[in-house]
Structure 1
Amino acid sequence: MSTLERHPTTLSLQESSPVRLLRSEAEAIEAAREIAGEIAKIAADSRQNGQLPRRQAQLLSSSGITAIGVPKAQGGLGASVQTIVETVRLISVADGGVGQLLQIHNVMLRGVTGYPDDVRDRVFADVLAGKRLGNALAEVGGKNKFALKTRVDRREDGTLVLNGSKFYSTGSYLAEWISLTAASDDGGAGVLLHRDTPGLTLVDDWEAFGQKNSVSGTVIFDNIELDERFVSRRKGPMKRTGLTFPQILHAAIDTGIAAGALAAAVDYLKHNARAWVESGVEHASEEPHIIKQIGEYAVALRAAESLLRDAARVFDQHEQDPENKELQDELILSVATARAHSDSASLKISSDIFSLLGASASLSKWNLDRFWRNARVHTTHDPIRWRLHHVGNYYLNGVDPGEYTAILNAKEKQGATTR
């Protein structure tokens, strides 16, 4: 990565590739599958490690899959959750970091509907033209994730001003629009910022050992004067199921990583691995112990994929009947189950494959450790132990499964987002 790219930037993106118009959900899935092949080739090249994923992000946009979440009323495909989940999974098979760019874009896109019509329509038009959204939600150094230091304050002249900084700002460095949360005297506030906004600085400083292509670095807000139309106040508490959409897309990322790791292991076993001397066979792919272990990986992967599809199906049912408490519970439980299995499958397969492939597979030129690095970093985003706790407490003690949206609502009542 060049020194220039390590510096903060406020420059506009230069992306001019024509955007494909996708006319059906089947076409969207096929488009994701096509570009996943190109992204996989880039990901496999160890020389690309640490480089900004500009080409990969451009492929996402030009394929049209970044626009499938735009509602039909605003000119988009209005894709189902099942289709959005599948596109994120397919891209994550190729590269979990790029899959996370698509994941956060879709999550932030959903939030655009909470802004005035003219703001919503402007952002949707940009997305239809191939522009992407990033996030700036999390901060470092606070007591917990809800203790926000970034603030929106009103000056004496009535102007709203934003100050603070964020980290883990997935996708923002390469995005056109930044969606963020801030504290204020009136409670939590959502804010939409264009990347060219004066006082906004995007920094490429994401230095984790995995998910490098999620570009989840720092965003700085320095006395940014806000247009009131681009500030959103939540009306009432967050929905019980408010976190299920990002959660199911996180499960799609991990399921994709698991599939990518298994496919890479099979390819290596067929073309590069040597049979163990005691095996009595000519090829590693004929060793009975290897065959059995690959079977175990495949079973773990198939379970994760099946649970992911089931959770997405429940999600679409919930969208048709959002006030149905039974469906809400089933959605929360099914997404938690998919998250737990995708977490386990991605870590197990991406790490354990080396026990079958041999020492030569650890050479940097093969870049096979990328799957484990991505899985290990991505699965830290949301502790599975708490998803399991909620499921267990529901079955054992009949406790409402909920999500930690309840914690956020309680914190807001205590004034945690006003300090």
Structure 2
Amino acid sequence: MSKVEQQPAGQRVQEQAPIRLLQSEDQAIAVARDIAREIAEIAADTRQNGQLPWRQAQLLSESGLTAIGVPKAFGGLGASVQTIVETVRLISVADGGVGQLLQIHNVMLRGIFSGYADEIRDRLIRDVLAGKRFGNALAEVGGKNKFALKTRVERRADGKLILNGSKFYSTGAYLAEWISLTAASDDGGAGVLLNRNTKGLTLVDDWEAFGQKNSVSGTVIFDNIELDEGFVSPRKGPMKRTGLTFPQILHAAIDTGIAEGALSAAVDYLNHNARPWVESTVEQASQEPHIIKQIGEYAVALRGAQSLLRDAARVFDQHELDPDNKALQDELILSVATARAHSDAASLKISSDIFSLLGASSSLSKWNLDRFWRNARVHTTHDPIRWRLHHVGNYYLNGVDPGEYTAILNAKETQGATRPAQ
């Protein structure tokens, strides 16, 4: 049964312990490894299945990981993309859904540094440094495509901006302090930031998918919300060509993490619970030559995904230093698409196929090993890999500049897709 939060919803957000201010990127990675162990213990416990990840989200904040993307000039660590990617990957080894909470927080955090007045930005930064998190409310259901937004900002007769509509796939919003959303208006698309205590905002825990349950990607409803115009950012000009590479590389980090978690769990089961097949003549399942070979294949798939992810993150940091370099833009789009394709394949292959080695007993609910496949199968539907492959193939075959669907979004905006029909 879905759980609904009528405001003030903020009363449900747990009080947090003092937030750590991480001093280095190495420390951030070490901390991610540490809290991933606790998150992994929670994820493995079947009693936690279907429970809201309050504790896991609290760990992300208290550890300081949610603040590492704040630039040094604003009091944060100013972590590189390489480090942010690695922290999301490490958390996803433990639980892909919790990794997605961190992923979307980092994506939404980057959005506050453009389009908002300094005082709004500074308030949001203070909240992030205090451990507050961002969730999103971007996608809707029922429209012709993902750009056909029904959620609208309109100016009332008294001059007030009013928000009405609803969103689904609102990752992390149910647990977040700030919700970042997109809406249509008479003047085109706009970004809006809402605090969870905003009057007229309803958060619904109705994410009923069979996987990625801890992403809490349910419904958010906006009912005649009076907006503070300082928290509304009209879309000005086209989205930059590489605008989706940051969320995309973090999605690759999630899938790479899920693949590693599945392989690690399989190895542990083989060493401690599996029996060798009767024809093998060995004493332990881990000594079966066919199992050894297959684990080697999984490891090669995983290592390939990890290497491509690291390479894409390295290219991303180069791009950040020279964002107008066309060759670097091309390489970033291609490398992120490649990382996504390999992480997609590795997570699905390993998480699904391990049961052929572990035996029928491994399918018992008490082991909870299906959580990796459930998370991989749901998360990899997020953005079709076939279109990432299309752009790569079109570049190599026909010399067409690689792109993302930012080009489609910009075209839709130019055509007035976010404005009312005439």
Contact 2:205–2:219, Cα closer than 8 Å, also in 1: yes
**Partner of 1:158 in structure 2?**
159
3-state DSSP of counterpart to 1:15? coil
Once the two structures are superposed, the pairs formed by residues 115-134 of structure 1 within 5 Å of their partners are 115-134=116-135
Give yes or no for contact 2:4–2:202 (8 Å, CA) kept in 1: no
2:292 maps to what in 1?
291
2:194 partner SS:
strand
Instruction: Kindly state the Cα deviation for residue 233 of structure 1 after the two structures are TM-superposed.
Output: 1.5
For 1:282, the equivalent position in structure 2 comes to: 283
Displacement, 1:143? Answer: 0.1
Q: Which runs of 5+ in 1 are unaligned?
A: none
Partner residue of 1:387?
388
TM-score (norm 2): 0.98
Match of 1:225 in 2: 226
| Structure 2 counterpart of 1:32 | 32
| 1:402 Cα deviation from its structure 2 partner | 1.1
Deviation at 1:367, TM superposition (A): 0.1
Report Cα offsets for 1:29-58 as digits up to 9, x if no partner. Answer: 001000000000000001100000000000
What is the deviation of 1:14? 2.6
Q: Report SS of the residue matched to 2:163.
A: strand
Alignment of structure 1 residues 64-143 onto 2, 5 Å: 64-114=64-114, 115-143=116-144
Structure 1, residues 284-308: CA drift from partner, whole Å, max 9, x if none?
Answer: 0000000000000000000000000
Q: Over aligned residues, Cα RMSD in angstroms? A: 0.8
Residue 367 of structure 2 corresponds to: 366
Measure the CA separation in 1 of the matches of 2:118 and 2:51.
Answer: 38
In 2: Cα distance, 1:350 partner to 1:132 partner: 30
CA distance in 1, matches of 2:14, 2:252: 32
Which residue identity does 1:246 align to in structure 2? Answer: P
What SS does structure 2 have at the residue aligned with 1:278? helix
Q: Which residue of 2 aligns with 1:189?
A: 190
Deviation at 1:234, TM superposition (A): 2.3
In 1, Cα distance between the equivalents of 2:279 and 2:120? Answer: 67
Deviations 1:147-175 (A, max 9, x none): 00000000122110000000000000000
Verify: 1:180 aligned to 2:198, yes or no.
Answer: no
1:7 alignment partner in structure 2: 4
Cα-to-partner distance string for 1:292-349 (whole Å, 9 max, x where unaligned): 0000000000000000000000000000000000000000000000000000000000
Match of 1:57 in 2: 57
Structure 2: how far apart are the matches of 1:14 and 1:267? 34
Runs (4+) of structure 1 exceeding 4 A deviation are none
After TM superposition, the score normalised by the length of structure 1 is: 0.98
- Give the distance between the partners of 1:205 and 1:162, measured in 2 at CA: 22
- Equivalents in 2 of 1:206, 1:214: separation in Å? 9
* Alpha-carbon distance in 2 for matches of 1:334, 1:135: 26
**Could you tell me which residue of structure 2 aligns to residue 204 of structure 1?**
205
- Which amino acid in the other structure matches residue 404 of structure 1? Y
**What letter is aligned with 1:225?**
E
- How many residue pairs align between the two structures? 416
Give the letter aligned to residue 147 of structure 2: F
C-alpha distance in structure 2 between counterparts of 1:56 and 1:126, whole Å: 19
Q: Which residue is 1:346 aligned to?
A: 347
Question: CA separation in 2, counterparts of 1:288 and 1:368?
Answer: 23
2:176 touches 2:196 (CA, 8 Å); kept in 1? Answer: yes
Structure-1 residue corresponding to 2:20: 20
Specify every segment of 5 or more residues in structure 2 that has no aligned partner in the other structure, as ranges: none
1:48 maps to a residue whose letter is Q
Encode CA deviations 1:65-121: one digit per residue, 9 max, x unaligned: 000001111110110000000000000000000000000000000001121111111
Task: State the identity as a percent.
Answer: 85
Q: 5 Å matches for 1:36-51?
A: 36-51=36-51
What one-letter code is carried by the residue in structure 2 that aligns with 1:71?
P
Cα distance in 1 between the residues matched to 2:16 and 2:252: 32
Letter in 1 for 2:101: L
Once residues 81 and 136 of structure 1 are traced to their aligned partners in structure 2, the CA distance between those partners, rounded to angstroms, is 23
